[in-house]
């Protein structure tokens, strides 16, 4: 698959449209106050809207492909959700002409649960808590063939493009193709450049990134590991697969996700890691679980055989796995 293949063009176009919809909804929330409200309707509208757009455009171009996606329309069809459904329909219609709310529901339901030989994995909004807080979130889309990720796209609408200009332009698109490298573009899909992981060789120089949510990973275990490896730099807490993006472009060295002690048996979803993992790997990084096993995208939505996540610049991977064993 190359940069100009229909899969890449369609996926980029769909993910960008979905990200513009999400930003429109996020910006429409009046001020920071309502972003913090427990009312989850904004994220719901954005989730459904983004999934409808991406599923519709992928299905139209690749009618034989399966799409494994996080949402379905069941809730949305409930009579007491009709206002939300109306809003979703209105937002989607600004991007793709819609004849009815029913049609939007049918696009959302192009998403299914079945893993096939060739399928797309979609998280329409990864990092919903970050989205509501006004922090990081990502539209994550990957194409998987025979268990191997061939194409990954992350749109991170609220991520600074350049760490040296943290108040500069926001919005990044990460793209990776199997065997062809990883790239960053701006949020419109222009100004493409290759990205590479950091060349840090000493664990003590490493910077860790981890979830912003204390319930999503064992931050205490991460701190203990940092001490073992003499890592003194503060860790970067960030929502969503944006963590894979900042690692792939060399800003951090390690992404750690030891399962939280409150939920030690938690199993990761394929759509939470498929796109991010190829972006890190094609930039020169390595991705396994915390026991050194490769991530299994071949069998189920839940990665039952894996435990947590470890992403590194490759160089430090074995040293970190060893420290995790102790
Ligand atoms: P992050 O922003 O890195 O915390 O990742 C967000 C993702 O964490 C969501 O898409 C959820 O699928 C996932 N998640 C939800 N609960 C947990 C949990 N207890 N442990 C690990 N991940 C979780
Ligand atoms: Mg997610």
Supply the pLDDT for residue 219.
Answer: 98
Average pLDDT over residues 123-151: 96
pLDDT above 70 as % of the chain: 97
Supply the pLDDT for residue 36.
Answer: 46
φ/ψ bin of 150: left (φ > 0), alpha (ψ from -120 to 50), beta (otherwise): alpha
Please compute Rg for the chain using Cα positions. Answer: 19
Q: Which of 238, 272, 308, when mutated, tests ligand 1's pocket best, judged by the most ligand atoms within 8 Å of its CB?
A: 272
Task: Report d(CA 258, CA 254) in Å as an integer.
Answer: 12
pLDDT above 90 as % of the chain: 89
Q: What is the pLDDT of residues 223-232, one digit of tens each?
A: 999 999 999 9
CB 262 within 8 A of CB 114: no
Task: Report d(CA 137, CA 132) in Å as an integer.
Answer: 9
Residue 47 designated active-site: yes
**pLDDT-derived band at 142, boundaries 50, 70, 90:** very high
Give the distance (Å) from ligand 2 centre to CA of residue 264: 18
Give the distance (Å) from ligand 2 centre to CA of residue 211: 12
Asked whether 240 lines ligand 1 (CB < 6 A), one says yes
Supply the pLDDT for residue 29.
Answer: 63
41 vs 16, more confident: 16
Burial class (CB in 10 A: 0-12, 13-18, 19+), 74: exposed
Give the distance (Å) from ligand 1 centre to CA of residue 82: 28
Asked whether 269 lines ligand 1 (CB < 6 A), one says yes
Catalytic residue among 66, 89, 128, 209: 128
**pLDDT-derived band at 38, boundaries 50, 70, 90:** low
42 vs 69, more confident: 69
Asked whether 126 lines ligand 1 (CB < 6 A), one says yes
Give the distance (Å) from ligand 2 centre to CA of residue 127: 6
Around Cβ 138, how many Cβ atoms within 10 Å? 34
Asked whether 70 lines ligand 1 (CB < 6 A), one says no
CB 104 within 8 A of CB 12: no
Q: Mind giving me the DSSP string for 13-30?
A: HHHHHHHHHHHHHHHHS-
Residue 116 designated active-site: no
Task: Report d(CA 326, CA 309) in Å as an integer.
Answer: 17
- In the block, tokens 């193709």 appear at 177
pLDDT exceeds 80 at position 35: no
Q: What is the pLDDT of residues 255-297, one digit of tens each?
A: 999 999 999 999 999 999 999 999 999 999 999 999 999 999 9
Residue whose CA is closest, atom 21 of ligand 1? 216
Closest CA to 113 of 276, 270, 273: 270
Q: Which atom of ligand 1 is nearest to the CA of 123?
A: 10
**pLDDT-derived band at 162, boundaries 50, 70, 90:** confident
The continuous run of DSSP H or E covering 209 comes out as strand 208-210
Average pLDDT score, the chain: 94
The continuous run of DSSP H or E covering 186 comes out as strand 181-186
pLDDT exceeds 90 at position 28: no
Catalytic residue among 44, 47, 66, 109: 47
Q: Mind giving me the DSSP string for 264-314?
A: TT---BGGGTHHHHHHHHHTT-EEE-TTSPPP--SS-SB-TT--SEEEE-S
């Amino acid at each position: 698959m190359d940069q100009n293949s229909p899969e890449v063009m369609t996926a980029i176009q769909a993910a960008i449209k979905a990200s513009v919809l999400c930003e429109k909804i996020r910006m429409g929330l009046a001020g920071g106050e309502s972003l913090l409200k427990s009312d989850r309707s904004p994220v719901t509208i954005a989730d459904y809207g983004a999934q409808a757009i991406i599923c519709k455009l992928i299905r139209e171009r690749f009618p034989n492909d399966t799409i494994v996606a996080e949402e379905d329309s069941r809730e949305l069809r409930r009579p007491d959700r009709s206002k939300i459904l109306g809003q979703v329909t209105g937002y989607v219609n600004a991007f793709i002409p819609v004849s009815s709310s029913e049609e939007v529901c049918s696009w959302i339901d192009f998403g299914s649960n079945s893993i096939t030989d060739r399928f797309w994995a979609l998280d329409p909004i990864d990092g919903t808590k970050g989205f509501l807080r006004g922090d990081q979130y990502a539209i994550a889309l990957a194409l998987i063939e025979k268990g191997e990720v061939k194409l990954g796209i992350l749109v991170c609408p609220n991520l600074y493009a350049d760490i040296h200009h943290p108040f500069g332009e926001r919005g990044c698109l990460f793209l990776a193709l199997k065997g062809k490298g990883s790239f960053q573009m701006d949020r419109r899909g222009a100004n493409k450049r290759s990205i590479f992981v950091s060349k840090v060789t000493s664990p003590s120089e490493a910077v860790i990134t981890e979830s912003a949510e204390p319930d999503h990973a064992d931050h205490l275990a991460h701190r203990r590991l940092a001490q073992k490896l003499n890592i003194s730099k503060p860790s970067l807490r960030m929502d969503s697969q944006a963590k894979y993006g900042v690692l792939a472009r060399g800003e951090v060295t390690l992404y750690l996700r030891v399962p939280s002690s409150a939920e030690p048996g938690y199993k990761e979803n394929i759509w939470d890691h498929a796109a991010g993992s190829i972006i890190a790997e094609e930039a020169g990084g390595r991705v396994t679980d915390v026991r050194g096993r490769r991530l299994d995208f071949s069998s189920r939505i839940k990665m039952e055989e894996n435990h947590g996540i470890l992403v590194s610049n490759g160089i430090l991977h074995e040293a970190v796995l060893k420290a995790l064993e102790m």
